[in-house]
Chains A and B, each alone.
Chain A
Amino acid sequence: QVQLVQSGAEMKKPGASVRLSCKASGYIFKTYAMHWVRQAPGQGLEWMGWIFPGNGNTRSSQKFQGRVTITRDTSANTVYLELSSLRSEDTAVYYCARDLTVGTYLGSGYWGQGTLVTVSS
């Protein structure tokens, strides 16, 4: 069965960077795109970016103005999200989520358990 297991909670100071991981299992890793979505406390879902593990192509929301880097390690079936220049507004639960289908994006059918990132001085 498809499983996405995310790394543990992080506490960071403003200005620092954080790197989160999402280890996939139960399917052919290179075949399905992976997204990162975050949710600030009490707020809605925010799409951050996407990677296609097969060729490493990525795209992130312009909102993050270059602060987001999404990578993958195909030998470890793992995708990573790095967020730099952290500020208090980045405090949120970060989710990885896998495409439901191969090819055209129709939604994310599988989600990790989420990783809480707290940014505080």
Chain B
Amino acid sequence: DIQMTQSPSSLSASVGDRVTITCRASQDISSYVSWYQQKPGEAPNLLIYAASTLQSGVPSRFSGSGSGTDFTLTISSLQPEDFATYYCQQCYSAPPWTFGQGTKVEIK
């Protein structure tokens, strides 16, 4: 199975900060990565797919990049509603389509 190693596991940031979360795949997965945001008590929400395509309705301050084994989710200017947990998921080839361990973004 393909493993997704996400870092950091948590971070503290202030409103307006630029935030970067990384995910590393255990093998080349081309651009088959999606990113999700999850708030407490809610289902995950898809932010980005195919590594860099913004899902409809998602604010443009979110962006994704990378290919091969290394991927990044960036929030250009953190807003109060962005404090949440973020997950990457590899969508490459056949299942299982594994998730990263998650990154909790907390208020500094």
Binding site for B on A (CB under 8 A): 35, 37, 44-47, 49-50, 59, 61-63, 95, 97, 100, 104-109, 111-114
Interface flags, B87-105, vs A, CB<8A=1, else 0: 1010100111111111000
B95 touches A106 (CB 8 A): no
Binds A, one of B14-22, B44-52, B74-82: B44-52
Pick from A49, A50, A95, A107: contact of B43, CB below 8 A. Answer: A95
- Interface residues contributed by chain B, number (CB under 8 Å): 24
Pick from B1, B49, B94, B95: contact of A107, CB below 8 A. Answer: B49
Q: Is B55 an interface residue (CB 8 A)?
A: yes
B43 touches A112 (CB 8 A): yes
Query: Which residues from chain B contact A95 at a C-beta distance below 8 Å?
Result: 43-44
13 contacts between A and B (CB under 8 A): A44-B101, A45-B87, A45-B89, A45-B99, A46-B99, A47-B89, A59-B94, A62-B96, A95-B44, A97-B43, A100-B55, A107-B34, A108-B44
Query: Which residues from chain B contact A46 at a C-beta distance below 8 Å?
Result: 99
CB-based nearest B residue for A63: B96
Which 5 residue pairs across A and B have the least CB separation, nearest first? A107-B34, A111-B43, A107-B49, A106-B49, A45-B99
A114 touches B43 (CB 8 A): yes
B97 touches A47 (CB 8 A): yes
